[in-house]
Amino acid sequence: MLDSIEYIERNLDNDLFIEDIAAIAYMSKFHFQRMFNMLTGYTVSEYIRNRRITLAAQELVNSRSKVIDVAMKYGYESPESFTKAFRKIHGISPSEAKKNSQSLKAYPKLSFQIQLKGDVEMDYKIVEKDGFTVGGKSIRTTTIGGENNRKIAAFWDESNQSGFTGELARNCGSLGLIGICTDFDKQQENLTYLIGAEKNIEQIPFDWEERQIPSATWAVFPVYGAMPDAMPRIWERIFSEWFPATGYEHAGGPEMEVYISDADPSSEDYYSEIWIPIKKK
């Protein structure tokens, strides 16, 4: 991961491709993107944009470079697109930044530190499961700035209040209610989140959708604690501790949050699971 960050830094004024960055860390593109996002809170593309705009601001303030030249140097096709991205981060235009640098923001280069952990064990099991069909409803959300966590929590609240999850629970299969993350885009900045259940009725309601979950080898992690806080803590440990310590990597398919318990989700002893498709490295 450190080598991949150094590679990004050396090439911020050149074309950067996630396949090349992932290869530096000996990971598949998909696994690298998920690992990076879980460890840093940024998508790879978001981090690159922030670093480029930071360096561009420094160059505008500390040199006589023209805005159009700096824009082209850092991969923007026009001064307009550069100005839009610049203003989104700094709150002012590049031209204004040349006159007043007091209000600029800086996104420093990331660094990773190795921490010795293991005082709290991670339970898991490996499950082989055939493909199955789920029915439910979904939303599309960005992962930038943790927006997906906020929108997914709101989606669950809305689904509970509307009675949708209650209807699902009455017709769910053995896994109970399922939250599925799928359809990650190339830059890992958008995903689809579906609240659903295994289909066990012939005809689902017209406003629901069907999804096919392919057969896979799954790593299944128990989650104990109140929702929604307990789930993100285990997600972080999976990517920061479990994957680096095992001979597995992400297989690239949908990920599932499985809610089997009928207990109150806000109770501290609430039980749920995280299912991640895996393969041997």
Domain boundary among 79, 98, 117: 98
Instruction: Specify the pLDDT at position 187.
Output: 60
Calpha distance 46→120 (Å, rounded): 32
**Same domain assignment for residues 140 and 273:** yes
For the question of whether the overall pTM of this predicted structure is more than 0.85, the answer is no
**Same domain assignment for residues 68 and 159:** no
Answer whether residue 114 is part of any domain.
no
**Mean pLDDT, all residues of the chain:** 86
Answer whether residue 110 is part of any domain.
no
Which residue stretches of the chain have pLDDT < 70? 101-102, 112-120, 186-188, 201
Calpha distance 191→149 (Å, rounded): 11
**Same domain assignment for residues 49 and 91:** yes
Calpha distance 18→208 (Å, rounded): 35
Q: CATH number, domain at 61?
A: 1.10.10.60
Answer whether residue 249 is part of any domain.
yes
DSSP-based helix, strand, coil % in the chain, nearest 5: 40, 20, 35
**Same domain assignment for residues 153 and 80:** no
- Own/partner pairs for 66-74, CB < 8 Å, 24+ apart? 67/94, 67/95, 67/98, 70/94, 73/13, 74/12, 74/13
**Same domain assignment for residues 11 and 77:** yes
**Same domain assignment for residues 69 and 136:** no
Instruction: Specify the pLDDT at position 119.
Output: 56
Question: What total number of domains does the chain contain?
Answer: 2
Q: CATH number, domain at 194?
A: 3.20.80.10
The SS3 call for residue 56 is helix
pLDDT tens per residue across span 262-273: 778 888 889 999
Pairing assessment for the beta strands 248-250 and 271-280 based on DSSP bridges: antiparallel
Instruction: Specify the pLDDT at position 32.
Output: 85
**Pair of tokens at residue 73:** 């140097």
What stretches of the chain adopt beta strand conformation (E)? 125-129, 132-142, 177-182, 190-198, 209-213, 216-224, 248-250, 255-259, 271-280
**Same domain assignment for residues 18 and 56:** yes
User: Which residue matches tokens 């943790």?
Assistant: 146
Domain that holds residue 93: 1-98
**Same domain assignment for residues 271 and 143:** yes
Instruction: Specify the pLDDT at position 139.
Output: 96
- Opening angle at CA 7, ends 5 and 11, nearest 5: 115
**Same domain assignment for residues 208 and 143:** yes
Answer whether residue 116 is part of any domain.
no
Instruction: Specify the pLDDT at position 155.
Output: 94
Calpha distance 70→13 (Å, rounded): 10
Instruction: Specify the pLDDT at position 143.
Output: 79
